[in-house]
Structure 1
Amino acid sequence: MELKVRRRPVKYARIEVKPDGTVVITAPESFNVGELVERHRCWLEGKLAEIENLREVAESGFPINGEFYGVIRGRRAKVHEMFRTVVMPPVGEELVSLLRRMLRRGILPMVVEYSERMGVQPGKVYIRHQKSRWGSCSPHGNLSFNIRLIAVPPDLRRYVVIHELAHLKYMNHSGTFWSLVGKFYPNYRDARGELKRWWSILELNPYWRLLEGRG
């Protein structure tokens, strides 16, 4: 168990399992971390087992649209959809640029379709690296989507688009917000669970780790 302890002036200790399997404990200076770990050992072992089960999946290739492609080293970045292969060049940014263009081509039609259906008018649409979120909506109505979305099944991308467009009406996660999301994506609870699973896969995937400078 990889354990990181952060001593902070907090009132209560907090324990968290990161998507890559790291256990992070935030606690006051005098707090007994060992006792906390023992008290939650069963829960921790269960969470870590879930992540380990995903590791084999995560290491099976480069994820594109919910499928795992074989990886070839080459001079120029390329995604061969027919042969289910990805060419990784020496400069990772070339592949990042290609994935960004692919995601934009796939996600913009969804934004157009659902903004019309939901009666909202988004501003600009950005494809960005985001450390902890699949997407975001600014107070000015601009939408940002995480480049990691190119890895997940297209239907999950549809949920993220609907989620962020709903924020153009409700800048919160109130019951009214979720009612609007549910009107256009009834299985949003399942989608949220699947996206957590995919986030862990990408945290563990060696190729995404390399692209994001974590390899």
Structure 2
Amino acid sequence: MAPDDNRYLELATPKGETIKVLKRVHPRARRLRLTVTSSGARLSYPEGTHPAQVFAFLRKHVNWLERKLDELQLDSAGPPPVKPGAPTLIPLRGETIRLMWRDGAFPAIAHEDDKLILTVPSSTAPRALSMARALLRSFLETQIRRDISRLMARYTGELGAAPVGVRVRPLKSLWGSLDTRDRMTLDLALALAPPAALKYVVIHELCHLKIRNHSPRYWALVSQYYPEWKEQRTWLREKGHALKAELSRLIGR
């Protein structure tokens, strides 16, 4: 196992394959944490953690990591399709959770610990997938709007400006936009991303309320509110396609 451009670690598996793990020091982390989504493997750890401790932690969890990546079928074909009744792993706010199915009297969705449980009546079998997608979309919109509200409450006050409204919907290529009437639009796929990525996009668009271009003065303003914005922009550029594909398989397009 060796470092790769200071951002990745390469982990050799018992099968002789190599797994690249994105590493990141988290200022509020109390322990090492390994997560897996369709975007790949990510390791966060407290500042000051010795490299030998990081390597040992990964070696200890190599079998788990390999199994999770196999379950997600991270290959060129993209994530596996959602099938009624078939459990699958999905990302939610940057964490890996299991999507489960349950029969019940009424359609419902519930987030319980590390599981997202879809209740779909067996009597609606022909419409099970469309019903599940509607439930998932509603759930993701509710979750991301809570996060957006928290960010807005903090940064609009500091910035001294606010959008006239916020829309959340799937976007083909952009992560966010601000129209001439100061209405913000954000990609629903950000509900699947780590909160830090959503934070970057929100601050990015909020700063356009003050400066409508991407001049050095604009980026200086972004840096004022989020000094680590470059890391999140890079993450979205590298993982964005997989994230949008993940949203598409969950809610359809």
TM-score (norm 1): 0.66
Question: Is 1:69 aligned to residue 97 of structure 2?
Answer: yes
1:36-55 CA-partner distances (Å, limit 9, x unpaired): xxxxxxxxxxxxxxxx9856
Instruction: Quote the Cα distance in structure 2 between the aligned partners of 1:53 and 1:126.
Output: 25
Q: Does the C-alpha gap of structure 1 residues 79 and 177 become closer, same or farther in structure 2, counting only changes over 3 Å?
A: farther
Partner of 1:56: 74
Q: Does the 8 Å contact 2:169/2:186 carry over to 1?
A: yes
Partner of 1:78: 109
Amino acid at match of 1:67: E
Partner of 1:87: 118
Q: Considering fraction of residues, name the structure with more strand.
A: 2
Q: Does the C-alpha gap of structure 1 residues 94 and 106 become closer, same or farther in structure 2, counting only changes over 3 Å?
A: same
Q: Does the 8 Å contact 2:102/2:117 carry over to 1?
A: no
Question: Is 1:208 aligned to residue 248 of structure 2?
Answer: yes
- 3-state DSSP class of the match of 1:94? helix
Partner of 2:52: none
User: When the two structures are aligned, how many residues end up with a matched partner?
Assistant: 161
Amino acid at match of 2:152: V
Question: Is 1:175 aligned to residue 237 of structure 2?
Answer: no
Higher relative contact order (CA 8 A, sep 6+): 1
Alignment of 1:1-215 (within 5 A): 54=40, 56=74, 59=79, 61-74=89-102, 76-87=107-118, 89=120, 90=128, 91=131, 92-205=133-246, 208-213=248-253
Gaps (5+ residues) in structure 2?
1-37, 41-72, 80-87, 121-127
Q: Does the C-alpha gap of structure 1 residues 193 and 73 become closer, same or farther in structure 2, counting only changes over 3 Å?
A: same
Give 1:147 shift. 0.8
Q: Does the 8 Å contact 1:69/1:86 carry over to 2?
A: no
1:113-171 CA-partner distances (Å, limit 9, x unpaired): 10111121221111112111111111111111111111011121111111000010111
Q: Give the RMSD, CA atoms, in angstroms.
A: 2.5
1:54-105 CA-partner distances (Å, limit 9, x unpaired): 5629747211010121122346342424133342752112220121111111
Gaps (5+ residues) in structure 1?
1-51
Q: Does the C-alpha gap of structure 1 residues 140 and 71 become closer, same or farther in structure 2, counting only changes over 3 Å?
A: same
Q: Considering fraction of residues, name the structure with more helix.
A: 1
